[in-house]
Amino acid sequence: MTKASITLNVNGQSVTTEAEPRELLIHVLREQLEITGPHIGCETSHCGACTVEIDGRSVKSCTLFAVQAQGSEITTIEGLGNPDKLHVLQEKFKEHHGLQCGFCTPGMITRAHRLLEENPDPTEEEVRFGISGNLCRCTGYQNIVKAILAAASELRQTESVA
């Protein structure tokens, strides 16, 4: 089966790669582009560990063929912050112990990022509903929700100062 040439903008950089149509986006990101922030958890669209942002939508990258993302702008956890300059969400997850094993965290933060873009001042219930496509087996979610609410508050303050 012939491979298709696929051009994506990933975390602000244009990249071109080749993939068979049957290759899922998560596999192309991790194995070809070496972007390993999005994790493979359940591979059945349930857990959300593979969540990335595509053209302003949160998407489970295990349930999309890479060829379907042709020409898209993709943001992964790597595009949100880095060890030298953490994103506010990353800082707040650290501060509020929003993670234990950390496996769900990249997907959780990527999803929370889009949630706050769309709703900068969510209630606790809206946060819980908004991350309902992401499973965490360690924390019981309490500290994840606290971290997201704290990040929302700080982002609103930064916004109002700017």
Partner 1 sequence: MIPGRFEYHQPESLDAAVGLLGKLGEDARVIAGGHSLIPMMKLRLAMPEHLVDLKAITDLKHITVDGGVISIGAMTTQAELIGSAELALAAPIVKETALQIADPQIRYQGTIGGNVANGDPGNDMPALMQCLDASFVLQGPDGQREVSAREFYEAAYFTAREDLEILSAVKFAVCSGGYAYEKQKRKIGDYATAAAAVLLTKGGDGGCSHAAIALTNLADTPLYCEEASNSLMQSGVDAASIDGAVASCMSIIEPVEDNRGPAEFKKHAASMVLRRAIELAWSRA
Query: What residue ranges bind partner 1 (CB under 8 A)?
Result: 1, 4, 20-24, 27, 43-46, 48, 51, 57-60, 63-65, 67-68, 111, 115, 129-133
Could you tell me the smallest distance in angstroms from the CB atom of residue 109 to partner 1? Answer: 14
Dihedrals phi, psi of 4, to nearest 5 degrees: -100, 145
How far is Cα 57 from Cα 136, in angstroms, rounded to an integer?
Answer: 21
Could you tell me the smallest distance in angstroms from the CB atom of residue 82 to partner 1? Answer: 24
How far is Cα 99 from Cα 108, in angstroms, rounded to an integer?
Answer: 10
Could you tell me the smallest distance in angstroms from the CB atom of residue 108 to partner 1? Answer: 12
How far is Cα 112 from Cα 52, in angstroms, rounded to an integer?
Answer: 11
Could you tell me the smallest distance in angstroms from the CB atom of residue 1 to partner 1? Answer: 5
- Residue closer to partner 1 by CB (options 19, 155) is 19
- Residue closer to partner 1 by CB (options 46, 91) is 46
In Å, what is the CA distance from 68 to each residue of 115, 134, 144, 148, 149? Answer: 23, 22, 31, 30, 33
- Residue closer to partner 1 by CB (options 81, 133) is 133
Other beta carbons less than 10 A from residue 158's beta carbon: 10
